[in-house]
Structure 1
Amino acid sequence: MSPHKEQKSDLSHEEAIDRIWKLSKEIDVCMFITWDGEYTRARPLSARVHRDENAIYFLVNADGAKNDQLERFPKVTMAWSDNSGYKYVTVSGHAKVSNDRSKIEQLWEKTDAAWWDSAQDPEIRLIAVVPDEAELWDSPGKMVAAAKMLMAAVTGAKPEVGENAKVDL
């Protein structure tokens, strides 16, 4: 757990946590960021967000470089972006790669058939992330944000374009 519970928002701690889980589920595809010992590496992955299990899951190939990176450096960051709505979420946590066939079958979706023949494909692996901290940037929308930024430019004031909250999960 992180020692800070910084919050720059009118949202309560629980409201911020609710919003983070909701947006990460709604936006779906995130940039999944690992460390290889020299560089951070990012790739887009479809997230299976399960707040009731305090976990975020990903189906991946067995031979992916990220799997080796996670064995050595299990701390990851996931970044979701809804640019049209000016809504952004980052979540950090610890990841583990497994061959949990039952969970893979449970998480299987029709769209996964674009990558694998079926949930029984032996090349599928499961990444499970247990989140420990997150940050939220949540704007009321593009038009409102643009209007507030224009007003700030005219008046010289800093624009207030939405909620920003950093929380421990």
Structure 2
Amino acid sequence: MSTHDDRTATVAEIMVETDIAVLTYVSLDGHLVSTPMGTQDFEDPGTTWFLTERSSEKVRAIEADPRVNVSYSSKAGWVSLTGTAHVSDDRAKLRELWDASAGAFMSGGPDDPDNVLLRIDGATAEFWESPGKVAVAVQMAKGLVSDEKPDLGDNDTVRL
């Protein structure tokens, strides 16, 4: 049986290996909206950071309903992180996280007042550990040609 620390380490590994995460939030008209976000940093899987623009519909929607989900996918597996988003004007943290990729998508640099941070405080992370591409392909083929359910890796949920 794996421990909380082992499971949290697995979640962290998947998140670190993911360049582009998918943020899902509730729009102002009540629909779920998913948008790609560049993975910037996280202190631990329970606190993740993204850069965005204050003037975006996404920020207005999140300020009205901060419940979010962030999904990550890497060679190590998949993570579905549920949590609460907070808009932050922390300029020191914004400068720390600003890089060339941010400059490609956002104008004005880290001192532009329209550029802000989204801090996601994670509540739970459901994860699926990947046994690797070849093993997944074998298991999928096995599931297609037999009555056996494919073994696509371990799945668990960890409270953050």
TM-score by length of 1: 0.84
Query: What is the 5 A alignment of 1:32-51?
Result: 32-36=23-27, 37-51=29-43
Inter-CA distance 107–142: structure 2 relative to 1 (3 Å threshold) = same
Shift of residue 86, structure 1, vs aligned partner: 7.2
1:145 corresponds, among 136, 139, 144, to: 136
Query: What is the 5 A alignment of 1:44-63?
Result: 44-52=36-44, 54-63=46-55
2:80 corresponds, among 86, 90, 100, to: 90
Residue aligning to 1:113? 103
Shift of residue 41, structure 1, vs aligned partner: 0.9
Distance in 1 (alpha carbons) for counterparts of 2:135 and 2:42: 31
Query: 1:13, 1:167 within 8 Å by CA — same for their partners in 2?
Result: yes
Higher relative contact order (CA 8 A, sep 6+): 1
Residue aligning to 2:67? 75
Shift of residue 145, structure 1, vs aligned partner: 1.1
The secondary structure found in structure 1 opposite 2:121 is strand
Q: Where does structure 1 lack aligned partners over 5 or more consecutive residues?
A: 1-9
Residue aligning to 1:130? 121
Distance in 1 (alpha carbons) for counterparts of 2:36 and 2:44: 24
Distance in 2 (alpha carbons) for counterparts of 1:127 and 1:27: 17
Distance in 2 (alpha carbons) for counterparts of 1:35 and 1:151: 38
Number of aligned residue pairs: 158
The secondary structure found in structure 2 opposite 1:161 is coil
TM-score by length of 2: 0.88
Q: Where does structure 2 lack aligned partners over 5 or more consecutive residues?
A: none
Q: Which amino acid aligns with 2:100?
A: K
Instruction: Give RMSD over aligned pairs.
Output: 1.9
